[in-house]
Amino acid sequence: MAKINESSFWYNLLKKVLKQVLRKHNRKNKTHNQHVVTHEDGWAVRGAGNERLTATYKYQDDAIERAKDIARNYKSSVIIHRTDGIIRDRISYKKG
């Protein structure tokens, strides 16, 4: 362990502090946008950055309605994709 008067002590301390600050900063910037995407069973709702699906539906309209409910709750957006994956529409419930 480095002593307080050694430069390695201050270097390691600065690294730890920056790591914590960046971790908190990244959490604040997390969006709760909801994506409506194709799925083998029809359509699915997936939260931005999530690997797992929130829900699956037979019809796109049903998936959009569920995504809207979630987006309203988080004051975020719904991003609706076409069957080829390209974004066709965006609905925002952000404040301000």
Q: Domain check: are 13 and 25 in the same one?
A: yes
pLDDT band for 87, please (50, 70, 90 cuts).
very high
The closest of 82, 79, 74, 81 to 90, measured between CA atoms, is 79
Identify the domain containing residue 21 by its residue range. Answer: 1-30
Q: Tell how far CA 59 is from the center of its chain.
A: 24
Q: Domain check: are 60 and 26 in the same one?
A: no
pLDDT tens-digit readout, 19-44: 888 776 665 556 799 999 999 999 99
pLDDT tens-digit readout, 43-85: 999 999 888 999 999 999 999 999 999 999 999 999 999 999 9
Number of structural domains found in the chain: 2
Q: Please state the pTM of the whole predicted model.
A: 0.69
